[in-house]
Structure 1
Amino acid sequence: MRPFTQAKTATAKSLNNFDTKSGSVIERALFNHRGIVMLLCVLVTLVLGWQATRLQVNASFEKTIPTHHPYVQNFLRYQNDLTGLGNAVRIAVANPQGDIYDAKYLETLRHLSDDVFVIPGVNRVKMKSLWTPTTRWVGVTEDGLDGGPVIPEGYDGGPQSLQQLRANIARSGEVGQLVALDGNSSVIYMPLLASDAQGRALDYATLSRQLETLRSKYEAQGVTLHITGFAKIVGDLIDGVRAMLLFFAVAVLIAAAAVFWYTRCVRSTALVVLASLVAVVWQLGMLPALGYTLDPYSMLVPFLVFAIGMSHGAQKMNGIMQDIGRGTHKLVAARYTFRRLFMAGLTALLADAVGFAVLLLIDIQVIRELAIAASIGVAALIFTNLILLPILLSYTGVSAKAAARNLRAQQSAGSHPLWRFFDLFTQRKWARLAVIVSVLLGIAGFAVSTQLKIGDLDPGAPELRADSRYNRDVGFMNAGYGASSDVLAVMVKTPDGECSRYDTLNKVDQLEWELRQLDGVESTSSLALLIRRVLTGLNEGNPKWYEFLHNQDMLNTIAANVPRDLYSESCGLLTLNVYLRDHKADTLARVVSHVEQFAHNNDSADVKFLLAAGSAGIEVATNIVVKDAWRLMLFVVYGVVVALCLVTFRSWRAVVVAVLPLVLTSVLAEALMVALGIGVKVATLPVIALGVGIGVDYALYILSVTLARMRQGASLFEAYHDALLFTGKVVMLTGVTLAIGVITWVASPIKFQADMGLLLAFMFLWNMLGALILLPALAHYLLRNNVRPAGAASTASTVQGTDDTASDALASGGAKLLNRT
């Protein structure tokens, strides 16, 4: 490979040699009024920094569900008639020394039930435990049907009272519901309201702390507590914020150390990190100003904003350092770098913003708020990293020693084995190899990605580690109770007063029997099943009576004396509760498909089978929305990225060269999700879209310099080599650095963060490799309009991008592009 020669042209070593009226209107407005721009940024930072102190971390059950989906609309329409099928917490209180028929245990349970009752946000009317009066038994006596509260009247903790309690529980039907199958624990069921008595949104962090306080208090009294429910998941995630912040700090330190290793300049490294952190401050400050909070699912957004900022900031710093190393005045160097890279940076950030903003298409409020928060952060980066950072460096410059070192490295870089290796991919033999390997990887990745599932793939809470306290509590619940906490409720709508009609109950009974045959269904409950059991009890337990009597008066009589958990007060709505083994995507899809087919065949003018309520029912609706939005989201993201690249490059060939590496990364990332057992859900859906927006940064920086040099007459080989030396080194630096920073997340106690760390590290690296290897290979076939032999002599006007001539030409081209835009 022939080394490039150094051009001997004039350099603006002082402002007297530089025309301050040159450049675009935007450049002149910014750099000719640097002081005003700096002052405005300082004021904005102070104001938004103060606002950021008011930012709250919270979540909302309603925000995590697709409120406009028909299933959720059905749930919300009949929510007041449903018991135990919404946002609720279950506390299993176990007696490690025996069973629940123990006076000391029952006294402890009573005090705990009273403490839970007064927690703000609890729906006290629908709360249930052995001590609540709504927990009743129904039995057959010599005088007919009888019933009453499970805790017997006059209970005194004596042997007779305990014996009566045992009999009442056996007749209550609560074994497997409120009482464990082995009788060693019972459940306090606490449904939650969306807001407290003062109208304030439920504070999940506070609620979780209150539950943990109760756990500590009562476990000291000899019982053990196992707590499950959405509120506890969110509470544990919020508690994990400290771990997230720790890993965020580690990633910042790793990024800063890597930039310093590259530059050996403290001031430029500090300014790059500062500009990126300022963008994060602006983002966090805008959220409370706009009335938003930060929830566990958007915790990683500030780091993504920082990572994007570091990528763009390192490019600006590198360009300025190269110019200063050649003797250019620091202000002129800042303006030249602004000209060269502003449009590429702006296009990349707009692509990032689109990657976030397209999430607004998804009908789940928590994702929409994530999209808004991230878009605000990216908008801040346009000011902090594309404008503020070059202005800051125009004041401070860089270390003369570091600039000289950088210049020496540039002059010797042409023969570096790594850059010579990447240069090979502009030649036919290696370009063909890169394309073939990429096609094979794409085919294999696509074949694997077809197995990607929608929804959760693990029992419990996949956002948390399998051995976390919460998931151990879920395991205890599933092992101890015949009915799991994963409940899918089918609502059966009838005219008021007709829920106990024989024809209706017969259809419910038929569906219930069919569902119990499905894999993943552990048990069911409905008014039809309860009536069967009561009829048997009324006839001395004779199994011949385990059938509906075709006697409407008898059915009405039995229905009138059973608890109202399974039908509404107006008898216009029945619920068929399906208790599932887990909430895995396949389990939910199997059950829902069967119910929908049954409804299609059996709905009539008076009877409608409606989906869905219960935790699993709401998750089904969420999975459907995520599945519908998944491909649409990627289509829109790529469509806008293509449009932005087309506006920037004015060449469809260049657009193909820039976008195809991103497509390969997306396909391989989905294949990686299959390999890691990660489904597409609320927590992971944003990362798939963001990978496209973040990845296009690398391609835009390298391709913009390559095209600019080719338009000056350089061959693809020369132009790409110049791009490698001018921006490629920083692309590699940021790609590897950010990947190392996020891969540390695998040690996080929050599995969601660990999974995202793996996915982000993969996308950072593959987007980097795509820009360095696949991009020049594709350019060999699509951008060969000015190709000359690889060893051909170069004139001074077509030397590498670090030369004065090339640098000035790139700056001039950037200014023209800004003016044209």
Structure 2
Amino acid sequence: MIERIAELCIRRRGLVAGSLFLLTLVLGWFALHIEVRTVFEDMLPSRHEYVQTHEKFKDTFGGSNMVTIMFEVEQGDIFQAAVLDKVRSVTLGLREVSAVNPYQITSLASKKLKEVRASTAGIESRPLMWPDLPADAEAMSELRQAVLRNPLVYGPYVSKDLQATLISVDFIDQQVDYAKVFSEVRALIATVDDGSVKIRVVGDPILYGWVSHYLPETLQLVIAALLVTLVMLFVLLRTWRGVSLPLLAGAVSALWALGICRLLGINFEPLVIVVAMLITSRAVSHSVQIVNRFDDELELLPPAADTSRIAARVALADLFRPGMLGVIADAACMAVVALSPIPMLQKLTVLAVVWVSTLTVSAVILTPVLLSFIRKPHGSAHPINCLPALRKVLDLCVWISLSRARFAVLGGSLLVVIAAGLYSLNLKIGDANPGSPILWPNSPYNLDSAAINARFEGVDRMFVVLGDDSRPGLVKGNEALHAMNAFQRFIEAQPEVGGSLSIADVLPHVNSSLREGNPRYLELGDSSTINGSLVAMLDSVSEPGDISRFADDQYANGSVTLMFRDRQGETIRTAVARIKEFIASHPLAEGHWQLAGGVIGVMAAVNEIILSSQIEAIALALLVLAVICTVVYRSSMAGMVFMVPVIISNMLTFAFMTWKGIGMNINTVPVAALGIGLGVDYAFYIVDRIKEEIAAGSTPEHAIRQSLHSAGMGVIVTASVLILATLLWWLSSLRFQAEMGLLMAIWLSVSAFSALFVMPSLVYVFRPRFIFGERPEALAETPPGSCQPA
């Protein structure tokens, strides 16, 4: 069948090339119109309990797209007209920012921060600084005292040293465009930033806005990587076809994949450019293998008019199986990620599977078809010849594989895998370090985040809800209020939780105000009647939206908002475990607790999904790979043999992630899944060429030598080129891209080492039947300890 496919493609080469060219033009047009942006809803596992709570209450208690802006002075305090005017200008300006929730803007200059007072005239609630700034020094002093008296402001919104103040604002999830919000918020801040006040801004819209901000730099790195690939291929292969055809294969696969995804309505996530580069590297690898085999066949054929067509047909026929097997393995291992309930990973899986699948056309078929048009060259494109040096490396591979050194390689590999596997047990789920792992620690965003967390209770929030939709007024009850208060005291014992806020914090101040500020009464009421009366008094002096931070309109559900100083996976898991511990040990007669909304609640859900599915996904990907190899080679031993390079590359990569503090999160999971298929591609070509030589009657020694000097040359060329190209990503301003580029380089290095040293040694020692078949007489003539010349 493979021979017939190869013969048909070469015989109808004009029709095949023309059809693929026209289809590439059409899909290329759609590819140019693909939308490049991050969609927040795609990051949420919608069926998870925490996300359902978040979606239900986000409009009331605050979503996960909150932005925090800090104004910080170095001398004096913030109670200066010039400073407060900046706060007021930004607060008012935020109303005009795209997708903003105007009811979720909170600062000293908003109506939400109020002081409650009681007098003979009754209860009075007035904004601290709205609508105007303090008119004189006396009014400024009065504002300072009002802030100091109010623990809901002094600490949460004004720092303890009075040198900083916050503005918090939330955005509507369904409407938020991170790049647009980022540019508009920065433009607004620029209008008041004269250098006299340090202005810091953080939040997911700003974080992902930075990703979009660095998109031009990312494109420059892509171009630089392509140029390095072009130059290296030209230097090593010394032919124009060795440069142009692999790059053409990568370009065609990219245009096809992006065009198809545009037709499917799938947007391109900027962070997955690393996955795109991984897949493009596979296109280059497959194409280089075919070009290299084509050149080998040219050397064996006598000059004739149809020499190129014969060589192209042989290259296509002989490399069709390992090429297709590599494509299917990559696609199948990536498809496992689609089992995750996170839409972003599901859409990314579709993109990756489509992209990988296009390699069957762009590399496996198009490259040999185009090669069939090429005349046999009379010389090299330049005088620099690196091939002798590469052949010496391959000679070393042959010597190790056929000598007793092979036992050292196999034993050493086993020890390294065991050690790396044990060390990888410490791999963290979720973010592994404070700040965002997407950006470098010294990036403006992470420096701003650290500065805000140092002065305030924390910029990242989680809300936990107590209530029951069927019981209006439940939050006013004595049990609910005291449960909230006890829960806050319990959870604040965790150092990473900087503070908490609920209606149970507000009512004691109303109670004290009714008694002329007597601190003795700074506590909740003793009964539901008293607490209900306090809530009624607070309602009477509040405007619509004032209570929404604490309870819904019917007081059926109330929130406890927790402020976190970091979003590390361990911090979030500890907090969730403590919350569940409190709920289990403090049962309620009425109502129930609901976990958990806000950005930390959403991250907790994502981390739990990854934690629960990580081992299963890896195991399933390995199983899929084993089944594919078993079916293709009709031997269960084949599945076991090809697991070896995969296990080696993945264990070493996971060990590196553990060492460098790279957590397994929503951004790294797809790269890890694709790495399972990536770890075995090179081995397919080496082993399949050994099988081909054995089938042609070669001895095991000659088969291994021939395989390493033919398929091995393609491995060493593509690995060296792609490793150097991917290391360029270390220059990226996005830490995630830099670290993933380094992981790609490690995967490629270990995969190439496994294919060149481990796999031939393994094959030579164990002589698997799916390679050597039933040839006892040949095996008897060449025992494993012997080495025969070619």
Same fold (TM over 0.5): yes
Residue matched to 1:233 = 207
Give the deviation of 1:122 after TM superposition. Answer: 0.5
Q: CA 1:493 to 1:425, structure 2 compared with 1: closer, same or farther past 3 Å?
A: farther
C-alpha distance in 2 between matches for 1:450 and 1:397: 55
Letter in 2 for 1:266: W
Give the Cα separation in 2 of the matches to 1:152 and 1:469.
31
Deviations 1:389-418 (A, max 9, x none): 111111124533149999x999x899x543
1:508 maps to which residue?
484
Aligned equivalents of 2:398, 2:465: Cα separation in 1 = 65
Aligned to 1:255: 229
**1:792 and 1:571 mapped to 2: Cα distance?**
84
Question: Matched residue of 1:120: which SS?
Answer: coil
Distance 2:725 2:82 in 1: 52
Q: Which residue number corresponds to residue 367 of structure 2?
A: 389
Give the equivalent residue in structure 2 for 1:467.
Answer: 442
Query: 1:290 corresponds to which residue?
Result: 264
Q: Tell me what 2:541 maps to.
A: none
Q: Deviations over 1:94-138 (max 9, x none)?
A: 345643322233333322222211112111122223232233222
Q: Look up the match of 1:345.
A: 323
**Which residue of the other structure, out of 187, 202, 206, is the alignment partner of 2:166?**
187
* Counterpart Cα distance in 1 of 2:526 and 2:290: 82
Percent identity for Structure 1 against Structure 2: 26
Moved more, 663-672 or 395-404: 395-404
Q: How does 1:3-82 map to 2 (within 5 A)?
A: 24-82=3-61
User: What is the aligned partner in structure 2 of residue 618 from structure 1?
Assistant: 602
Task: Tell me which moved more, 346-355 or 41-50.
Answer: 41-50
In 2, the alpha carbon distance for the partners of 1:79 and 1:261 equals 57
Question: Are the structure 2 counterparts of residues 157 and 453 from structure 1 closer, same or farther at C-alpha, using a change threshold of 3 Å?
Answer: same
Query: Is the contact made by 2:78 and 2:165 (CA closer than 8 Å) also made in structure 1?
Result: yes
Counterpart residue number, 2:85: 107
Deviations for 1:782-821, whole angstroms, at most 9, x for unmatched residues?
Answer: 2165431576767xxxx6xxxxxxxxxxxxxxxxxxxxxx
Give the letter for the 1:526 counterpart.
S
Specify the SS of the correspondent of 2:465: strand
The structure-2 alpha-carbon separation of the partners of 1:438 and 1:140, relative to structure 1 and needing over 3 Å to count, comes to farther
1:374 and 2:374 aligned? no
1:670 aligns to what SS in structure 2?
helix
1:156 offset after TM fit, Å? 5.6
The residue type paired with residue 35 of structure 2 is Q
Question: CA–CA distance in 2 between the matches of 1:523 and 1:104?
Answer: 30
Letter of the structure 2 residue corresponding to residue 651 of structure 1: S
Quote the offset at 1:528 in angstroms: 2.2
**Aligned-pair CA distance for 1:560:** 3.1
1-structure distance, mates of 2:132, 2:9? 83
- Residue 244 of structure 1 corresponds to 218
Alpha carbons of structure 1 residues 661 and 59: separation in structure 2 relative to 1, 3 Å? same
Contact 1:87 1:229 in 2 (8 A): yes
Distance 1:303 1:621, change over 3 A: same
**For the structure 1 residues 155 and 210, does the alpha-carbon distance in structure 2 shift closer, same or farther, using more than 3 Å as the test?**
closer
- TM-score normalised over the length of structure 2: 0.92
Match of 2:775 in 1: none
Q: Which runs of 5+ in 2 are unaligned?
A: 539-545, 773-777
Q: Which whole-Å CA distance do the structure 2 matches of 1:749 and 1:103 have between them?
A: 38
CA contact (8 A) 2:462 2:563 kept: yes
Structure 2 counterpart of 1:727: 711
Q: Distance in 1 between matches of 2:17 and 2:382?
A: 28
Q: Please report how far the alpha carbon of residue 345 of structure 1 lies from its aligned counterpart in structure 2 after TM superposition.
A: 0.2
Q: Which range moved further: 647-656 or 731-740?
A: 647-656
Task: Please report how far the alpha carbon of residue 301 of structure 1 lies from its aligned counterpart in structure 2 after TM superposition.
Answer: 2.7
- Give the distance between the partners of 2:240 and 2:396, measured in 1 at CA: 31
Q: Which moved more, 1:134-143 or 1:102-111?
A: 134-143
**Paired residues of 1:81 and 1:569 also in contact (CA < 8 A):** no
Aligned position for 1:86: 64
Answer whether contact 1:654 1:783 (CA < 8 A) is retained: no
Q: Which of residues 377, 397, 407 is equivalent to 1:432?
A: 407
Secondary structure, aligned partner of 1:499: helix
C-alpha distance in structure 2 between counterparts of 1:496 and 1:428, whole Å:
81
In 2, distance between residues paired with 1:768 and 1:267? 23
Q: Aligned residue for 1:701? A: 685
Taking the TM superposition and a 5 Å limit, the aligned residue runs for 1:493-532 are 493-494=467-468, 495-532=471-508
* Structure 1 gap ranges (5+): 1-21, 197-201, 800-821
Give the structure 2 partner of residue 661 of structure 1.
645
Q: 1:218 aligns with which of 187, 192, 196?
A: 192
The residue that corresponds to 2:721 in the other structure is: 737
| Cα separation, 2, equivalents of 1:222 and 1:485 | 23
Contact kept? 1:449, 1:667, Cα under 8 Å: yes
Separation of aligned partners in 1, 2:285 and 2:629: 18
Report the count of equivalent residues. 764
69, 79, 97: which is aligned to 1:119? 97
CA shift for structure 1 position 689:
1.1
Superposed CA deviations along residues 673-710 of structure 1, whole A, max 9, x for unmatched, are 11001111011111111111112110101111111222
Any idea what SS the aligned residue of 2:719 has?
helix
Deviations 1:617-646 (A, max 9, x none): 211111001112211211121111111111
The 1-side partners of 2:42 and 2:730 are apart by 28
The one-letter code of the counterpart of 1:204 is Y
The residue type equivalent to 1:368 in the other structure is Q
**Is 281-290 or 658-667 further displaced after alignment?**
281-290
Say if 1:276 and 1:310, in contact at 8 Å, map to a contact too: yes
Say if 1:23 and 1:777 are closer, same or farther in 2 by CA, change over 3 A: closer
What amino acid sits opposite 2:686 in the alignment?
A: I
After superposition, give the CA deviation of every residue in 1:379-398 in whole Å (9 maximum; x if it has no partner): 22111111111111111245
Residues 91 and 105 in structure 2, CA contact (< 8 A), matched pair in contact too: no
TM-score (norm 1): 0.88
Partner of 1:479: 454
- Encode CA deviations 1:546-570: one digit per residue, 9 max, x unaligned: 5443222221122234451212211
CA distance in 2: counterparts of 1:445 and 1:643, whole angstroms: 25
Q: CA separation in 2, counterparts of 1:388 and 1:246?
A: 28
Q: Contact conserved, 1:95 with 1:184, CA < 8 A, in 2?
A: yes
